[in-house]
Amino acid sequence: MRVVIVGTAGAGKTTLARRLARELDLRHVELDAINWQPGWRALYEEDLPEFSRRVAEATAGERWVCDGAYGRVRGVLWPRATHLVWLDLPRGAIMRQVIVRSLFRGLSRKPLFNGNREDLRQMFEPDSPVRTAWTHFHRNRARYEAALAQPEHAHLSVLRITRQRDVAGVAARIRGSCAA
């Protein structure tokens, strides 16, 4: 079982991936942890071949769940995945989640990836999760719909989650699709 979780920034990809890893006994691969280097340097921008290599290495096994919406490594992940969970929640729900998360991280100053910390001053910068969630919402939806319509992705068992209350049942639905 190899599961990819996608969605707009703040949709809850990492939270769901942690839950699935625990409930389905899968290795959790967090793309943000691979991408974000010290000083918020983005490996996918600075060295895409190295980012792709690290993602491939992290997902080389047969039992993993990977969260992240990095389109540049879709060709590494999606062909090997068995399942894809698309957190396509309403924009309002995503905005609530990403704002609360960013406020918490900015106030707590808890270290994230490679010692990086969110800062409240960054919250509304062009590349902040809050701004990204707002500006990329419709574009991401169109991109995922188009990508999933491609024949090379027909092998994926796709769960498109459009309501927050349906997130809780994802592990059972994945387990059920494997038994069928």
Per-residue model confidence (pLDDT) at position 180: 55
Q: Is residue 58 part of a domain?
A: yes
Q: What is the CATH number of the domain that holds 18?
A: 3.40.50.300
Domain count of the chain? Answer: 1
- Entry pTM: 0.91
Q: How far apart are the C-alpha atoms of 108 and 71, rounded to whole Å?
A: 30
Per-residue model confidence (pLDDT) at position 90: 95
Domain span at residue 54?
A: 2-173
Q: How far apart are the C-alpha atoms of 83 and 80, rounded to whole Å?
A: 9
Q: Is residue 178 part of a domain?
A: no
Q: Is residue 89 part of a domain?
A: yes
The DSSP secondary-structure symbol of 15 reads: H
- Tens-binned pLDDT, residue by residue, of the chain (180 aa): 999 999 998 899 999 999 999 999 999 999 999 999 998 899 999 999 999 999 999 999 999 999 988 889 999 999 999 999 999 999 999 999 889 988 888 788 888 888 778 887 777 787 788 888 898 899 999 999 999 999 999 999 999 999 888 888 888 888 877 765
Q: Is residue 139 part of a domain?
A: yes
Q: How far apart are the C-alpha atoms of 136 and 30, rounded to whole Å?
A: 20
Per-residue model confidence (pLDDT) at position 101: 84
